[in-house]
Amino acid sequence: MVWKLDRLGRDLRNLINTVHNLTSKDIGLKVLTGHGAAIDTTTAAGKLVFGIFAALAEFEREMIRERTVAGLASARARGRKGGRPVKMTPAKLRLATAAMGQPDTKIGALCQELGISKQTLYRYLSPNGELRTY
């Protein structure tokens, strides 16, 4: 017995595998409460209800995925780009390149002035100030 169906597995595949493993050992599943309150896999009707719920859940998951992909494609077509904004703008890159060419430049102070981390600076520039391919 399980209190609610969502307590048995993390996702649909895990849930179906768990029920299949239980059934192969002649163990039935009975859900006590929740949306699947009428599920009892020891009966034919319970197996049918479980199968229908599993199929509907899989369908819903695929529909959400398709809508998400379509929404991202639509946003891309409108010129919108997702993700975090780039920290190292072309102006900051020119300033950093010029500053790295000076031997007395303190890297920590340069990064603080630009509002970036040392890792970000070295991702774009080598220690002697040459551009890296990023």
pLDDT digits (tens, 9 = 90+) for 57-92: 778 878 999 999 999 999 999 999 888 888 899 999
Range 87-100 average pLDDT: 91
Range 9-25 average pLDDT: 80
Range 7-12 average pLDDT: 69
Range 50-56 average pLDDT: 78
Cα dihedral across residues 48, 50, 52, 58: positive or negative: negative
Nearest to 43 by CA among 25, 57, 23: 23
Higher pLDDT, 36 or 38: 38
pLDDT score of 70:
96
- The whole model's pTM is what? 0.50
pLDDT score of 5:
65
* Digit-coded pLDDT (tens) for 103-121: 888 999 999 999 999 999 9
